[in-house]
């Protein structure tokens, strides 16, 4: 029938007349109705997931008034299938018995003789409750799976260099706190990966992680996106909607490229951070929020404060701790490690034999400036895997942001002398021309470094 509910119902009662009457009436409205006049046989045959709702008599022939048999079979039913919804039936309208039944795990309580409309309403309501609880369990499972997948994907932070070890140390120190974090660094250095790593190791790891690209939100939609809106509050507001702050409540909110936020809108973020409340557009009610805020920017936000392009009071709010990510060019020893990781990842993805890097390619990768940082290395490696039919990748297999940069950094007649010269120049630049520090990094004595500087006409 069109109006039938998709419920699977079992009725257990030792009165065959009651069973047949209930079955005859309910089968008009319920997809499946089974009956049993023997609770012992019912328990022996009962399987998890077999039914959605059980109507269970409380008093059988051994005990006509106490309801103890009904409580026993209630407990057994819930033991076999904890998700089952049980409606207890009795001819004795004892309120205390009803309260005890609910405490024991029953969903509802019905007296007989019942009115058919009351019976149908109780079964229908109980089935809807079963569906709701089941849906919540599925959503919770999906949420856990999503969180697990996100964490696995984004916790792939790789690096053995000193700058990255310092970053890992900072992540470990701040993760278990609720301190607001500001992550700074050039584009492609892995700011979102770090934010997800902090969330993964935080006390909020089982709660939502919401990422928002502040540079992609227009000023007109800013409040709607961040704080939510009420249906009808503006032309396209066709339904109520929660904003990112509200959705992230109890979890972590990551505001990427916070430096791109126009100055007038910065005050709105500051107000929310100070009050810990948001107000949806079109509503007067304040909604409490409980978030851990992580922000990121590739801009010099401290200079922006001096130039009055970013609010100083907001900066104080968002950077209890600041984590500075090093550019890839300052992580020489990590470049080959990252490249090999990407090679393995993309060879597997595109079902190709594992490719390797020639020695010359490795040296070239170390010398190249990598203006796009890890993102550029990753995309260049993916392209090389797709386009090359060779087992060993050469410098020509890699794509660079500009041919000019490549020519400046990697001469066509690449030799060990060229590479040594580049390494010395980079080390001196990195350590502000401090000979002792540069020599230590290069594994040379001061005198050996001076001899090589003289050989390559390198001056301070």
Per-residue three-class SS string for 274-338: HHCEECCECCCCCEECCCEEEEEECCCHHHHHHCCCCCHHHHHHHCCEEEECCCHHHCHHHHHHH
The answer to whether residue 126 sits within a structural domain is yes
The verdict on residue 423 lying in a domain is no
Its domain, for residue 68, covers 5-134
b/e per residue 205-236 (b: at least 16 CB within 10 A): eebbbbbbebeebeeeebbbbbbbbbeebeee
Average pLDDT over every residue of 13-17: 86
Q: Which residue has the tokens 């805020």?
A: 293
168 and 157 in contact (C-beta within 8 Å)?
yes
**248: in domain:** yes
Same domain (yes/no): 104, 219: no
| Claim to verify: residue 130 and residue 193 sit in the same structural domain | no
pLDDT average, residue stretch 134-162:
67
- Of the chain, the percentage scoring pLDDT greater than 70 comes to 89
**Domain closes at, from 324, 355, 383:** 324
With cut-offs at 50, 70 and 90, classify the pLDDT of residue 153: very low
pLDDT at 434: 86
Taking the C-alpha atoms of residue 422 and residue 431, their distance in angstroms, rounded to an integer, is 14
Q: What is the mean pLDDT of residues 170-193?
A: 94
Looking at the fold, whether 186 and 122 belong to one and the same domain comes out as no
pLDDT greater at residue 8 or residue 1: 8
**CATH number of the domain to which 71 belongs:** 3.40.50.2300
Q: How many whole angstroms separate alpha carbon 319 and alpha carbon 230?
A: 32
* Residue written as token pair 């060779």: 390
Give the pLDDT of residue 148: 58
Contacts of 99 (CB under 8 A, 6+ apart): none
Q: Provide the number of structural domains found in the chain.
A: 2
Please give the Cα distance from 16 to 13 (Å, whole number). Answer: 7
Q: What percent of the chain has pLDDT over 90?
A: 43
Residue 152 lies in a domain: no
Together in a domain, 129 and 227: no
pTM above 0.75, yes or no: no
Q: In the 3-class helix/strand/coil scheme, how is 192-256 assigned residue by residue?
A: HHHHHHHHHCCCCCCCCEEEEEHHHCCHHHHHHHHHEECCCCCCCCCCCEECHHHHCCCCEEEEE
Confidence of residue 272 (pLDDT cuts 50, 70, 90): very high
Torsion of CA 259, 262, 265, 269, to 10 degrees: 0
Write the pLDDT tens digit of every residue in 290-301. 999 999 999 999
Pair (189, 246) in one structural domain: yes
Greater pLDDT, 216 or 165: 165
| Residues 178, 114 share a domain | no
CATH number for the domain spanning 272: value is: 3.40.50.300
| C-alpha R_g of the chain | 34
Shared domain check, 103 and 219: no
Among residues 324, 352, 367, the one where a domain terminates is: 324
Indicate if 202 and 307 belong to the same structural domain: yes
């Amino acid at each position: 029938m069109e109006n039938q509910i998709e419920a699977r119902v079992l009725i257990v009662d030792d009165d065959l007349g009651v069973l047949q009457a209930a079955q005859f009436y309910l089968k008009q409205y319920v997809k499946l109705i089974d009956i049993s006049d023997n609770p012992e046989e019912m328990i022996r045959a009962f399987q998890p997931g077999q039914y959605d709702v059980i109507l269970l008599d409380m008093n059988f022939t051994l005990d006509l008034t106490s309801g103890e048999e009904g409580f026993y079979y209630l407990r057994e039913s819930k033991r076999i299938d904890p998700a089952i919804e049980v409606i207890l039936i009795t001819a004795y309208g004892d309120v205390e018995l009803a309260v005890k039944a609910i405490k024991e795990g029953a969903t509802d309580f019905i007296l007989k003789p019942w009115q058919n409309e009351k019976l149908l309403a109780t079964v229908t309501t109980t089935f809807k409750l079963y569906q709701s609880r089941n849906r919540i369990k599925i959503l919770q499972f999906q949420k856990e799976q999503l969180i697990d997948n996100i964490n696995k994907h984004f916790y792939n932070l790789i690096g053995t260099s000193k700058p990255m070890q310092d970053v890992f140390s900072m992540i470990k120190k701040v993760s278990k706190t609720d301190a607001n974090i500001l992550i700074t660094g050039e584009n492609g250095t892995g700011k979102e990966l770090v934010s997800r790593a902090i969330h993964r190791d935080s006390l909020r790891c089982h709660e939502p992680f919401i990422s928002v690209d502040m540079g992609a939100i227009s000023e007109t939609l800013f409040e709607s996106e961040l704080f939510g809106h009420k249906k009808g509050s503006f032309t396209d507001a066709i339904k109520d909607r929660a904003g990112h702050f509200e959705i992230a409540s109890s979890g972590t909110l990551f505001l990427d490229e916070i430096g791109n936020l126009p100055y007038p809108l910065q005050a709105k973020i500051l107000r929310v951070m100070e009050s810990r409340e948001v107000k949806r557009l079109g509503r007067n009610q304040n909604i409490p929020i409980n978030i851990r805020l992580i922000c990121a920017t590739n801009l010099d936000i401290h200079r922006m404060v001096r130039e009055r392009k970013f609010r100083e009071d907001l900066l104080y709010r968002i950077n209890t701790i600041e984590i500075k990510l090093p550019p890839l060019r300052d992580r020489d020893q990590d470049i080959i490690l990252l490249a090999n990781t990407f090679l393995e990842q993309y060879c597997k993805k595109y079902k190709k034999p594992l490719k390797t890097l020639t020695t010359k390619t490795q040296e070239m990768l170390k010398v190249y400036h990598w203006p796009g940082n890890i993102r550029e290395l990753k995309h260049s490696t993916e392209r090389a895997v797709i386009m090359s039919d060779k087992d060993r990748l050469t410098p020509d297999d890699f794509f660079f942001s500009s041919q000019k940069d490549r020519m400046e950094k990697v001469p066509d007649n690449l030799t060990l002398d060229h590479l040594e010269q580049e390494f010395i120049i980079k080390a001196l630049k990195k350590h502000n021309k401090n000979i002792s520090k540069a020599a230590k990094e290069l594994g040379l004595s001061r005198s050996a470094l001076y001899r090589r500087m003289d050989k390559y006409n390198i001056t301070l």
